[in-house]
Amino acid sequence: MDEATIRQYDLTAEKIALFHSSIAPTRLYELAKLYFSPGALTLDVGCGIGRDCNWLLNNGFPSYGVDASYQMLLSARAKYSNLQLIVDYLPNLASIKDSAFENLFCSAVLMHLPVSVVLDALRALWRILCVNGTLILSYRCSVTGTEREAGKLYSKIDKEQLIFTWRLLGGLVLLTESLEDSLRPIIWENIVFRKIS
């Protein structure tokens, strides 16, 4: 994870918590209901303030959360005391055992990694996912024309390279879509992956 980005999240955790509490990624929740296995262990990678982890838990997906920002996790614990959260982050997710989760939810995280480790991060997600498990991945690029936006890294992700690498590992791509954000001039890339071997 990009250190400057972690610092920005730590510094602005309360502001981000306030903003994220007022919106919800409705489309990603629809995808979770369509593709995730109900009752199966679920990990929210980059859980931030815990909003999505809490939604998953309350909708039949026993959930855990990991995030790189300690301050974001403090905000999550203050709002959702029922969540199980730890500090960990891509590209390694070193504290997570192999094949530990059947459902992975990873929204607004991948773009904060340097391009040089994005595929390593994808392989880490593959590693912690069970066979026949599902990964919902969502990310965006910067809207400023540079890699930095408000001090945070927004790497340009090559979607075709992600898809090629996942298939090379032995997985399936169940869905890809590009959607405009309803509140901001942002395009979100959503991909649903399945691990089959």
Q: How far is Cα 76 from Cα 42, in angstroms, rounded to an integer?
A: 17
The pLDDT of residue 18 is above 80:
no
Give the pLDDT score at 15: 82
The pLDDT of residue 181 is above 90:
no
Give the pLDDT score at 68: 95
Return the CATH number of the domain spanning residue range 3-195: 3.40.50.150
Q: How far is Cα 119 from Cα 162, in angstroms, rounded to an integer?
A: 7
The pLDDT of residue 142 is above 80:
no
Q: Where does the pLDDT of residue 11 fall: very low under 50, low under 70, confident under 90, or very high at 90 and above?
A: confident
pTM of the model: 0.92
Beta partners for residue 189, in sequence order: 139, 178
Give the domain ranges of the chain. Answer: 3-195
Q: How does pLDDT run across 23-55, given as a tens digit for each residue?
A: 788 999 999 999 999 999 999 999 999 999 999
Q: Mean of the pLDDT values across residues 63-87?
A: 94
Strands 187-195 and 171-180: antiparallel
163 or 15, greater pLDDT: 163
Q: Mean of the pLDDT values across residues 122-131?
A: 98
How many helices (H) and strands (E) in the chain? Answer: 7, 9
Q: How far is Cα 89 from Cα 92, in angstroms, rounded to an integer?
A: 7
